Chains A and B, each alone.
Chain A
Amino acid sequence: MEAYLDNSATTRVSEPVIDLVVKLMREDYGNPSSKHLKGFQAEQYLRRASEQIAATLKCSPKEILFTSGGTESNNTAIIGGAQAASRRGKHVIVSSVEHSSVKEPFRALEQRGYKVTWLPVDKNGIVDLEALKSALDDETILVSCMAVNNEMGAVEPIEEIGRIVKDFNPEILYHVDAIQAYGKFRLPVHRIHCDTLSVSGHKIHAPKGTGFLYIAKGTKISPIIYGGGQQGGMRSGTENVPGYAGLGLAAQLAYGSDFDAKIDRLYALKEQFTADLRSLDGVTINGKTGRESAPHIVSASFEGVRAEVLLHALEERGIYVSSGSACSSNRPGLSSTLQAIGVPGPLLDSTLRFSFCFETTREELDYCIQTLRELLPKLRLFTRH
């Protein structure tokens, strides 16, 4: 049996999306910038994709910028946003549990002379709103926070943050990294009050190398890629038409009429899975569970077992998961998120992430639990001293 439980790393592209992408590669391969009919047709596909996406965010199709994925979307919003607003101030604020595609652009800003405030989080990984309120000042130009934490599935109070930021000063740019949240939560952008919101295609069964950035009308962002002026000059380069058409379809499918039912099912799977995990010896679930957390991510620490060893032992039995932290003999890559939420030292290197998609079945999860039940006692015999 095989159980792919690493859907927060990437997902399988869904069949209708594959068919559409192949059709575009094979038949409708025009360049949307071409003046002839083939170009016009390609442009129509882009238009349709941005309409499909806009419908899921309740925004205008003109507010969708296609990108190569989550990392580029985050970079465009943060670097491009800070640059456009740099005359108003040099202070930016971000949570301390972000993905590296947010963290690193902020570090880059730090090096360019911006002042960065890293907001602390509580033991569940939730951003401290009081810290945000006291950090905001006249110099603040950008606030960024992720919607769902990629390592433990914590759900951040992005609407409250939006209100706090915009009440303080509506001119401050508010960016939301929704890469793990999109497709699992309804994200009406007008309620979040965000100016930008980033999404990655391959987390929602669209191809890798696709993604988008929502940019609210009137928001000033400097492009970070220059060239032929495609997409209104915001991101030059011939559009990945097949990929974006696939992304549009995947977005529509993610938010279909069965959305609530699918989410309920995921929460039920997660509840059972976390209960089963807790029934094993020496297992801790990190962060909140239930409706207060993301429906598709479970972070668990396994006492006395190294994550990487457990990961490979599971892989031998066809179960694919992520280790909470990259790891090697000199341990350079312990997760800063897990450290930030206060996971004790010995468990940092013993944490796995299980992540589901709508195709995940009860059988796969039962198989995973059963395998863990067999493996854990064996692996605990051989602990490094």
Chain B
Amino acid sequence: MITAFLIKYGEIGIKGNNRYIFEDALVRQIRHALYGIDGGFKVHKESGRIYATATEAFDSDEVIEALKKVFGIVWICPVEEIDDNGFDDLSEHCIRFLKESYPEENFSFKVQARRGRKNYPMDSMEINAQLGGRILDAMPQTRVDVHNPEVLLRVEIRGKIYMYCKEIPGPGGMPVGTAGKAMLLLSGGIDSPVAGYMISKRGVQIEATYFHAPPYTSERAKQKVVDLADEVSAYAGPIRLHIVNFTDIQMAIYQKCPHDELTIIMRRFMMQIAEEIARKNDCLGLITGESIGQVASQTMPSLLCTNAVCTLPVYRPLIGMDKQEIINISEKIGTYDTSIEPYEDCCTIFVAKHPVTKPLLHVIERDEKKLDGIEELVKKAVDTEEIISCGKKIPEVY
């Protein structure tokens, strides 16, 4: 019977002296993911492995679903944990375990033992051979295949002994919190949550900024963004969402600048404000969901213009992706259905019929000069931000 989950991680293993930092971060993320899930899981690391051991009854599928969202995990193995009571006892447990896992008892197999504890009286090769023999005796319809076994029974001998024969792929990546922090520009669309997910996968902790423009965008549009942040946080961990009131700035741009440049100029202010909030919150970069040529404001000349206001690096993980590829990821991570809720965000309310697709930076900069007093509006927008904590609420002490 499955009593624990053995968690394997790839890339972290090759880190040098910093390895413990990555392992500890992964342990922390796993605890976070399993918080609130039945099973009373205890998570601990032991020489290159992490174990989540149940202390109470649990639902295996639920646990696996939760672990599949923890970046840094490469494989999730449901294991049975037994005490070391000698080789005979081990053999009996292995046979029972196989019978439980594959009741048809008709498969090719291979035993792969590993001794973390080298004082075990037999070496790994001996264990493989001996165990294989006993299994064949007990289940005569099975056969050994050391090259392409249908079932690979692994036996890890450590303080306790762990048996497993199934490996479920994890999401890969790096544990969140090991790479630093970045500020995601989160709209209500399909792309930005995906961008946040992708950067977070590399171990980056995420904060997010949303530009709210009441009365042009509604409370429901805002709630939609909070929902999206909650959904991304299932992977990225807790997200602090900064909500910036953008109405006055947008109105000023609308009144004073050429309408075909509205979106570009608006986005330049968004980047500028996001960067300011990012710096205040120790973020090392900005994240956007831009993809070359997707819309007028994401052509290369437009990106040049919006990029020009930032000094922090801007991470654009979707830059080379097609819309359908982005949609596929968004469906996979579960943000798609929220993204397509029909509430207007502030990028869509004042779009010109024919926005510029090849803006020139000096022209944009010249037209922005018409916005006298804009610095104060920007300052006010930053100062009056509202912060919402998104994601699972976990007590500090946990």
Contact = CB atoms under 8 A, between A and B. Distances in A.
Interface of A: 308-316, 328-330, 332, 381-382, 384-385
A329 B344 contact: yes
B255 A309 contact: no
B349 A384 contact: yes
Nearest to A375: B215
A351 B254 CA distance: 24
Contacts of B350: 382, 384
B102 interface: no
Given A312-B215, A312-B218, A315-B215, A381 B349 contact: no
Contacts of A314: 215
Interface of B: 214-219, 251, 254-255, 259, 342-344, 348-353
A312 B350 CA distance: 16
Contact of B343 (A313, A328, A381, A385): A328
Nearest to A378: B251
A316 B343 contact: no
B344 A328 contact: yes
Contact of A312 (B216, B259, B348, B353): B216
A177 B28 CA distance: 59
A332 B341 CA distance: 13
A382 B348 contact: no
Contacts of B215: 309-316
B214 A312 contact: yes
B342 A308 contact: no
Contacts of B255: 381-382
Given A312-B216, A316-B214, A329 B251 contact: no
A131 to B, nearest CB: 35
B262 to A, nearest CB: 10
Given A311-B215, A384-B350, 5 more contacts: A310-B215, A312-B216, A312-B217, A330-B342, A385-B259
A312 B216 CA distance: 7
A312 B221 CA distance: 12
Contacts of B348: 329
A308 B254 contact: no
B353 to A, nearest CB: 6
29 contacts: A308-B218, A308-B344, A309-B215, A309-B216, A309-B349, A311-B215, A312-B214, A312-B216, A312-B217, A312-B218, A312-B219, A313-B215, A314-B215, A315-B215, A316-B214, A328-B342, A329-B342, A329-B344, A330-B342, A332-B342, A381-B251, A381-B255, A382-B254, A382-B255, A382-B350, A384-B350, A385-B259, A385-B352, A385-B353
Contacts of A330: 342
Contacts of A332: 342
B354 to A, nearest CB: 10
A315 B214 CA distance: 10
Nearest to B345: A329
Across the A-B interface, give the 6 residue pairs with the lowest CB-CB distance, nearest first. Answer: A312-B215, A313-B215, A328-B342, A329-B348, A312-B218, A309-B215
Nearest to A312: B215
Contact of A382 (B214, B251, B344, B351): B251
Nearest to B255: A381
A308 B254 CA distance: 19
Contacts of B216: 309, 312
Nearest to A330: B342
Contacts of A381: 251, 255
A316 B351 CA distance: 24
B212 to A, nearest CB: 11
A381 B247 CA distance: 13
Nearest to A328: B342
Contacts of B254: 382
Contacts of B344: 308, 328-329
A295 to B, nearest CB: 29
Contacts of A311: 215
A39 B268 CA distance: 68
A52 B206 CA distance: 60
A314 B214 CA distance: 11
B214 to A, nearest CB: 6
Contacts of B219: 312, 315
A313 B216 CA distance: 8
A308 B344 CA distance: 10
A6 to B, nearest CB: 15
Contacts of B349: 309, 329, 384
Nearest to A317: B215
Contacts of B259: 385
With a 10 A CB-CB cut-off, give which of B214, B216, B255 has the most chain A CB atoms: B216
Nearest to B347: A329
B273 to A, nearest CB: 20
Contacts of A308: 218, 344
